[in-house]
Structure 1
């Protein structure tokens, strides 16, 4: 892979302001360096935040994003900025989790993707949201996401 592959990137290596909203955020991609191999990429965001669309109070989640790339992979700084753009975005847990998955799918056209949104309790009830694009590709090791069900202090 040549350095020319990275030339069109506008965020990596540059000072980049936090997008005001997920709609304004840009997910950048780079060529998959191992298109000949079926492998899994995992992003973990243990401090994801968004806002409740009704109360405006902050919501917190531990996100685990797994995908088997196709021709391109998501550039991680752009993903970090995209996820951070939810800090001032009002949406329910389900809307945030599925929207994140769909944006990554739109940007990368992966062979497979799943996301686990492990949300911390709101009103005493934790909400976990899971989404995937279909059956996992054969021959790819898909590890457990490793996030236990919320148990509070017990």
Structure 2
């Protein structure tokens, strides 16, 4: 491979400050060297945090992001910083989950993308938020997200 597909990355390999807000976060992408192959990529963020917009209290979620890339792959450090930028961001669970999905879908233009936002209970009610860009593609192994429904203590 003579072309260096990584040459334009700015965040990988050095110190990067955590963006204070999702709009400040810079996602980076690289050309998919296996673009002719349909395959699934999974990112799991089991310690995602944001803030309740009403109380300022922290909210916690286990996020599972699956996508079948097209021409582009998301660079994982930039994704980590993007997800971390929600730490000081006040928004409801639904807004956080869908904002992440739509930003990735618009940026990457994948063949398919889904996100499962499994939010831990606040006020005794867990909220799970799911989004996908269309029907699951045929011929690609996309496993179950593997997150059990919230069952509490019994």
TM-score (norm 2): 0.97
The aligned counterpart of 2:45 is 45
1: CA distance between counterparts of 2:2 and 2:88?
Answer: 37
Counting matched residue pairs gives 154
2: CA distance between counterparts of 1:41 and 1:50?
Answer: 24
Q: Which moved more, 1:90-99 or 1:5-14?
A: 5-14
2: CA distance between counterparts of 1:129 and 1:9?
Answer: 31
Output aligned runs, 1:35-114, within 5 Å: 35-114=35-114
Q: CA deviation at 1:72?
A: 0.6
2: CA distance between counterparts of 1:107 and 1:26?
Answer: 11
Structure 2: gaps spanning 5 or more residues: none
Segments of 4+ in structure 1 off by > 2 A? 1-4
1: CA distance between counterparts of 2:109 and 2:28?
Answer: 13
Residues 128-148 of structure 1, C-alpha deviations (whole Å, 9 max, x = no match): 000000001111111100000
The aligned counterpart of 1:117 is 117
2: CA distance between counterparts of 1:149 and 1:22?
Answer: 28
Q: Secondary structure at the match of 1:36?
A: coil
Residues 23-51 of structure 1, C-alpha deviations (whole Å, 9 max, x = no match): 00011001112111100000000000000
Q: CA deviation at 1:152?
A: 1.5
